[in-house]
Amino acid sequence: MIRGTENNSKTDGSACARRGRVQVYTGEGKGKTTAALGLALRACGQGWKVLMIQFMKGSADYGEIRIAGSVPNLTLIQTGSPDFVRKGKPSENDLKLAAEGMAVAREALKTSPPDMLILDEINVAVDYGLVPLKRVLELIRSRPASLELVLTGRRAHPELIRIADLVSEILSIKHPFAEGVSGRRGVEY
């Protein structure tokens, strides 16, 4: 039997009844953004307000961009260009867009904090020098106690791993890319 409306938990999961955690999804394997989107969907299904900011992504062709507006309580904002960023050689526009993403996150925490904030690809943005680690640490320290904060992307900084409550490393054991298969609509984007 499938049950969609019953809640057997002792607490209702409301902001005052929970302590937010910091979650990190990292590693060279596929599925970090997908895991975060799964969390977002689960949270929205419980009535949580979710804000997902995608760093280094700026294409309207991603499936999550196409559907986000129809998911109640989910706001998804891209703060990147559709072009790839070269590590060690970010453009002024890449730096500007990453700074805008952090500004959106800080402003949201000040004015109308979501229940869950997802900073998608923030680990890569830090690794590539688009966002200073210091700014991410400040955001973590200043977040409301009930906020669930999710950080995704390859090469998470050791300090982010150290302070996180949950860290999942997604390994790449086998992937069609190795055989020359390009990204597939609906699966990779």
pLDDT per position as a tens digit, 18-35: 899 999 999 999 999 999
pTM, rounded to two decimals: 0.86
Question: What is the pLDDT confidence band of residue 17, given thresholds at 50, 70 and 90?
Answer: low
Average pLDDT of every residue of the chain = 89
Task: Say if residues 98 and 80 touch (Cβ distance below 8 Å).
Answer: yes
Residue 10 has pLDDT above 50, yes or no: no
Q: Which of 187, 27, 33 is closest to 121 using CA atoms?
A: 33
Task: Say if residues 151 and 23 touch (Cβ distance below 8 Å).
Answer: yes
**Residue 126: predicted pLDDT:** 98
Residue 5's CB is within 10 A of a number of other CB atoms, namely 4
pLDDT per position as a tens digit, 126-165: 999 999 999 999 999 999 999 999 999 999 999 999 999 9
C-alpha 124/C-alpha 131 separation (Å) is 9
**Residue 133: predicted pLDDT:** 98
Domains and CATH numbers, the chain: 38-173 (3.40.50.300)
pLDDT per position as a tens digit, 81-132: 988 898 988 999 999 999 999 999 999 999 999 999 999 999 999 999 999 9
Higher pLDDT, 5 or 148: 148
Task: Give me the sign of the Cα torsion angle 67, 73, 74, 79.
Answer: positive
152 forms bridges with which residues in the sheet? 25
Give first-to-last CA distance, the chain, whole Å: 33
